[in-house]
């Protein structure tokens, strides 16, 4: 049995193997956040309760009709997302030597983020996802401070730990200036209060705004071990309380529904928010979600933490959510790099295509603020490069969690939330340079091929050690191969297709040229466990990518030098005035 532990921050349950995800003892819910903010005046008139809620089908039919007014799914598919935890990204004074206790406030601010946006933009990211912005509880608890922003007490006030309203508005303005989309993390499942660990929690509901009465919350109950298989229980009971009581909102209550929908509409409108991440979406009743997304008027991801295809994809097939962070890929990808096989990754991808409505609207990731760092399980730099390559070039929206590009290796919460300033914002680190190259290539190809983001990858090879795909139309396709062979993996020629006969191609991580044979295949010279990424040579014209090439050959590349040529191309592009081409 997997025990429950009083981990600091938002993660409370010990990790379990994804193959056990849908068993009672191993349901992988790991966070309990909340969010929100709007300056709209609170409507004091409680609406008359209807006899019953709209049926799920009725709600779904109305689901996303308002998305065209702002950044919609099609626009988000062209973006690449960098996830920021405000308290751990940058301090206002720009200091990089400030010590940080993992479970306490460390001083990151919205102003600090503004001052360090170049760091994100220079990697080629065209969107950021930020942690919650609204007021949290003030107390220090048995599981630390609310540095993460998820323990909301007031939807209608900003979190002054992160700065002033002017600071936040200045952040939004600067993002718009740079054409970087803003995704706000929001939680509608609960509100938070300090807990003495003596159940049932003694909640002073009057401290919550706007839900200042017990009648807006579900009666206290703790999710039982078998309850993780029972939707009524895991949606209506309080998620495991330790140090903080997460009072579970009754999102079937007419006032709660109306207030939440009004609030999110105001939040998006007042601050020009481009997208949402709905935390703990699986723990809110189904009927609530489509109306909430529709009220926002923007694209939304909802967190559905499961590795089971049917349980995951139903959120799209029932029109509950436009998209979700792709946990299906996540578990198989991590396994594939840690003793598993990429065959299972290929299988889950096919299952997702057959069961989900739109896999291109899913967010691809190998790290976030809830899961152990990828490098915690495997510190090999070559393996990290392969993982990053998959995240950026896979179907769906690339999502990189701050610090991944610096090879951070923290374990569970809060140790996977290291302050980024510890890295010195090093733009010469191997993964930073690799990420910049991969984003530049992806952004360039999207410009050339309007159908690229909605073209399913063709799996060319999937076995114990290699995973290769072709994505995009011939002439502007990207063919990449990743491997779980480590940096000590040696030299391995690999015959891979995905090209046209006699097509000249460039391996963009080393700026080496190659040419396909009559059958449309090339011999990839896999070396030292690093990934390979090929693009037709003609597609790179006027891109600033690999302006000088050499013939492909085996070369030692264990330190990150494999992106030197492409990085030089980036510099040349900047000189030529193309530095911001990927922001269009």
User: CB of 162 within 8 A of CB of 86?
Assistant: yes
pLDDT at 554: 58
Give the separation between CA 527 and CA 183, rounded to whole angstroms.
38
pLDDT of residue 31: 30
pLDDT in the model for residue 137? 95
Residues serving a catalytic function are 279, 303
pLDDT digits (tens, 9 = 90+) for 452-500: 999 999 999 999 999 999 999 999 999 999 999 999 988 989 999 999 9
Question: Which of 435, 59, 66, 104 shows the shortest CA–CA distance to 251?
Answer: 59
pLDDT tens for residues 25-75? 222 223 323 233 233 333 333 333 333 333 333 333 334 434 434 789 999
Secondary structure (DSSP) of 373-385:
PHHHH---HHHHH
Angle between helices 327-336 and 309-317 (to 10 degrees): 150
Alpha-carbon distances of 41 from 11, 38, 262, 293, rounded to whole Å? 34, 8, 10, 21
3-state secondary structure at position 275: strand
Task: Please state, in angstroms and rounded to a whole number, the distance separating the CA atoms of residues 441 and 539.
Answer: 10
Q: Give the 3-state DSSP-derived string for 119-141, with helices as H, strands as E and coil as C.
A: HHHCCCCCEEEECCCEEECCCCE
Which residues of the chain, if any, have pLDDT below 50? 1-69, 557-584
CA distance 289 to 314: 13
550 pairs with which residues across the strands? 512
| pLDDT at residue 67, rounded to an integer | 42
The two beta strands, 397-401 and 363-364, are parallel
- The pLDDT tens digits of the residues spanning 147-189 come to 999 999 999 999 999 999 999 999 999 999 999 999 999 989 9
In 3-state terms, what secondary structure has residue 217? strand
Q: What per-residue confidence (pLDDT) applies to 185?
A: 98
3-state secondary structure of 388: helix
HEC sequence for 148-193: CCCCEEEEEEECCCCCCHHHHHHHHHHHHHCCCEEEEEEECCEEEE
* DSSP letters spanning 442-508: HHHHHHH-TTGGGSPPEEEEESSSEEEEEES-TTS-EEEEEE---TT--EEEEEE--S-TT-EEEET
Cα atoms found within 13 Å of the Cα of residue 289, Cβ hemisphere only: 31
CA pair distance 528, 424, nearest whole angstrom: 28
User: Which pLDDT value is given to residue 225?
Assistant: 80
Do the beta carbons of residue 480 and residue 532 sit within 8 Å?
yes
Give the number of other CB atoms < 10 A from CB of residue 573. 21
Q: Are 366 and 404 in contact (CB under 8 A)?
A: yes
Angstrom distances, CA of residue 272 to CA of 79, 171, 399, 405: 17, 11, 21, 28
> Are 59 and 83 a contacting pair, CB within 8 Å?
no
State the Cα–Cα distance between residues 190 and 194, nearest whole angstrom: 13
325-347 pLDDT, tens digit each: 999 999 999 999 999 999 999 99
Neighbour-count burial for 321-338, b at 16+ CB within 10 Å, e otherwise: bbbbbbbbbbbbbbbbbe
Kindly report the pTM of this predicted structure.
0.85
CB 564 within 8 A of CB 570: no
Whole-number pLDDT of residue 362: 98
What was the pLDDT predicted at 230?
A: 87
């Amino acid at each position: 049995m997997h025990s429950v532990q009083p981990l600091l921050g938002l993660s409370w349950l010990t990790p379990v193997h994804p193959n056990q995800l849908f068993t009672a003892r191993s349901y992988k819910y790991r966070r309990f956040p909340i969010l929100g903010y709007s300056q709209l005046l609170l409507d004091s008139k409680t609406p008359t309760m209807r006899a019953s809620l709209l049926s799920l089908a009725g709600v779904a039919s109305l689901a996303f009709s308002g998305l065209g007014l702002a950044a919609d799914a099609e626009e988000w598919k062209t973006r690449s997302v960098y996830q920021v935890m405000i308290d751990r990204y940058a301090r206002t004074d720009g200091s990089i030597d400030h010590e940080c206790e993992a479970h306490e406030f460390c001083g990151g601010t919205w102003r600090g983020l503004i001052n360090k946006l170049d760091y994100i933009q220079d990697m080629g990211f065209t969107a950021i996802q930020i942690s919650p912005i609204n007021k949290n509880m003030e107390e220090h608890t048995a599981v630390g401070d609310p540095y993460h922003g998820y323990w909301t007490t007031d939807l209608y006030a900003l979190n002054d730990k992160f700065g002033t309203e002017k600071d936040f508005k200045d952040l939004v303005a600067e993002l718009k200036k740079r054409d970087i989309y803003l995704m706000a993390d929001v939680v509608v499942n609960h509100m938070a209060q300090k807990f003495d660990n003596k159940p049932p929690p003694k909640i002073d509901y009057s401290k919550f705004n706007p839900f200042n009465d017990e009648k807006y919350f579900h009666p206290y109950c703790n999710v039982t071990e078998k309850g993780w298989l029972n939707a009524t229980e895991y949606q209506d009971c309080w998620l495991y309380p330790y140090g903080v009581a997460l009072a579970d909102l009754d999102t079937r209550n007419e006032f709660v529904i109306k207030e939440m929908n009004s609030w999110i509409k105001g939040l998006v409108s007042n601050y020009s928010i481009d997208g949402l991440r709905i935390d703990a979406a699986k723990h809110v009743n189904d009927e609530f979600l489509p109306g909430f997304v529709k009220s926002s008027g923007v694209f939304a991801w909802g967190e559905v933490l499961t590795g089971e295809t049917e349980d995951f994809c139903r959120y799209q097939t029932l029109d509950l959510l436009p998209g979700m962070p792709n946990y299906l890929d996540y578990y198989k990808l991590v396994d594939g790099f840690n003793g598993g096989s990429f065959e299972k990754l290929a299988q889950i991808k096919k299952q997702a295509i057959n069961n989900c409505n739109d896999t291109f609207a899913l967010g691809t990731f190998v790290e976030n603020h809830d899961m152990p760092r990828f490098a915690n399980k495997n510190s090999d730099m070559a393996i990290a490069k392969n993982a990053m390559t998959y995240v950026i070039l896979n179907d769906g929206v690339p999502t990189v969690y701050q610090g991944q590009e610096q090879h951070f290796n923290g374990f569970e919460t809060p140790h996977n939330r290291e302050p980024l300033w510890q890295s010195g914002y090093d733009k010469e680190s191997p993964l930073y340079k690799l990420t910049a190259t991969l984003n530049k290539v992806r952004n360039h190809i999207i410009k050339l091929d309007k159908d690229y983001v909605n073209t399913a990858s063709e799996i060319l090879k999937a076995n114990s050690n290699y995973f290769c795909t072709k994505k995009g139309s011939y002439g502007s396709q990207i063919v990449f191969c990743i491997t779980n062979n480590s940096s000590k993996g040696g030299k391995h020629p690999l015959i891979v297709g995905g090209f046209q006969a006699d097509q000249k191609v460039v391996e963009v991580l080393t700026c080496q040229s190659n040419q396909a044979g009559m059958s449309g295949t090339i011999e990839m010279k896999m070396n030292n466990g690093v990934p390979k990424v090929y693009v037709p040579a003609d597609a790179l014209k006027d891109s600033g990518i690999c302006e000088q090439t050499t013939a492909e050959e085996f070369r030692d590349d264990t330190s990150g030098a494999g992106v030197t040529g492409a990085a030089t191309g980036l510099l040349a592009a900047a000189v030529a005035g193309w530095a911001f081409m990927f922001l269009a």
